[in-house]
Amino acid sequence: MAKIGIGSWAGKISVRLARGEVKFTIGEDENGDYKIDVTLPGALRTAKIKFMNLKEEEDGKTISGEGTISVLPGRKLTGAFTFEEDTFTGEIKAPVVGHIKITDGHRIA
């Protein structure tokens, strides 16, 4: 079965520390599990995000999971990304920051 969301994507976020374009690449690791690499804008551009427990939801369009971010050590993030062909919507729930919506999501070359 083909995995959803494989490729490079971009969208917009607007939170206190970071406004602008977030870019991420979704692929597979050596075990066939999802892996996501993220580049954040603004003051968070040097922050490192690590995703784990990524899974495809039953709707066949959504990847969800947990993660950590280097600027909030020991705290967990949760998130979900829903794909429709070459577009997506996303939301991440982070401690302190709250819900971060990713808007204008689209596939990039």
DSSP of 1-48: -PPTT-EEEEEEEEETTEEEEEEEEEEE-TTS-EEEEEE--GGGTT--
> How long, in residues, is the chain?
109
pTM: 0.87
Is the pLDDT at 27 greater than 60? The verdict is yes
Q: How confident is the model at residue 44 (pLDDT cuts 50, 70, 90)?
A: confident
For the stretch 48-96, pLDDT in tens is: 999 999 999 999 999 999 999 998 899 999 999 999 999 999 999 988 8
